[in-house]
Structure 1
C-alpha cells in the first residue's frame, strides 16, 4: 500500500538531487557584477543556496534522521559545516578547482552511504569522520561552481566569507525544519516502517544523482 507514495517520494527527491548545487541565472548575474563587499546580499544568496540545495539537504536529513537530542544534531552538523566551509573558502580563494561532475557524483554516493548506514547495511567509517569528510567534498562542489562564474576579485574574500555565513544560516533553518519533522514522526504507529522507506528513498535519490553526474563526466570528458 505504501509502494506508490514511496516511489513518488523517490522520484521527487531524485529529481531535486540532480540539480542540487546550481546557482540560478539571476543570482549568477548579480554575483558576477558585484564590485566591493556586499555583506547582506551575499549572506542571502548563501542561505538561499542551502535551503534550495537538495544534495546538501538530502545528506543532512540522513545525518540527523535518527538523532534524538539537539546536542547531537549540533555536534554532527558542526563537523559538516566546518568541513564544508574549509573547502568552499579554500577552493574559491585559492583558485583550486576540481571536476564538478566527479565531485557531485561523490556527493551522490555520500547520500547513498548515509542511507545505507541508517539502514544498518554498512558502517565503514566512524560517523564523525564520515560527516566531516563528506563536508569537505560538499564544499568543493560549491566552490567549483562559484569559480565557473569568474567572480570579480574586488571584494571577493569578504563576499565569500559572508556567502559562507549565509550558507550556515540556511543550514540551521533547514535543519530546524528537518529535525522537527523527524521528531514528530517518531510518535507514529508505523514509524519503523516509514523510517525504512524514507532511507530507501534517500538511497535512490543519491544513486540517481551519482548516475546523472557520472554520465555528465563521461559525456564532457576529453
Structure 2
C-alpha cells in the first residue's frame, strides 16, 4: 500500500518539532517504542479472546500479535546493543485519549476499538517514515523494515472495522465513516497540541508550543 494513502487517512503530519525532540531523546524513544510493540500485541490478544467466533479477526490479530512481539524483541535487542535499559515509562495521553471515544455497547464497541487501532498503527508508520532520514544507518534500516508491516496492520484494523459495520447494512457503513471522522479529529488534536510528555505518540513538545504561541519560533506540520 502506498504511504500516501495512509497519510491521507491521517488528518495531519507529525510536527517537525516532535521529530527534533525524538532525535534528542532517542533512549526514551526506543524504550517507549518497545512498550508500544508489547501493548499492540496485548491489544490484539485481547480482541481474540473477546471475539472468538470472528474467524477473520482471529487470523489477522494472531498474525499481528506475533509480528508485534517480534518487533518488541528486535527493539529490545537494539537497546541492549546501545546500552539502554528497558524500564517502565508512564503512558502518554494519546491512546487513552482516543479510547475515550469507544462506545460501551456491542458491536459499536468493537468497531470503535478497531478504528482506534487503525489510527495508532497509521500514526506509528507515519512517524517511522518521518524519523528515518535523520537516524543513524542501523536504526534507519530497522525502522524502514517496519513500514510495510505497520501499514498492513492499519489496513487490517480498518477492514475488520468495516466488516463489523457492514453487518448492520447502510446505517452501519454511515456510522463507520462518521466514527472515522470523529476519531481523526481527536487524533489531530492530540498530535498537534502541546504535550508536556515526550513519547512515541506524544504531541507537540510543550516548550516549542509555548514559544510558537508567542510568535518567537515557527514549526512545520
Which TM class, normalised by the smaller chain length? 0.3 to 0.5
Larger RCO (CA within 8 A; separation ≥ 6):
1
Give TM-score, length-normalised by structure 2: 0.35
Give TM-score, length-normalised by structure 1: 0.34
Higher helix residue share: 1
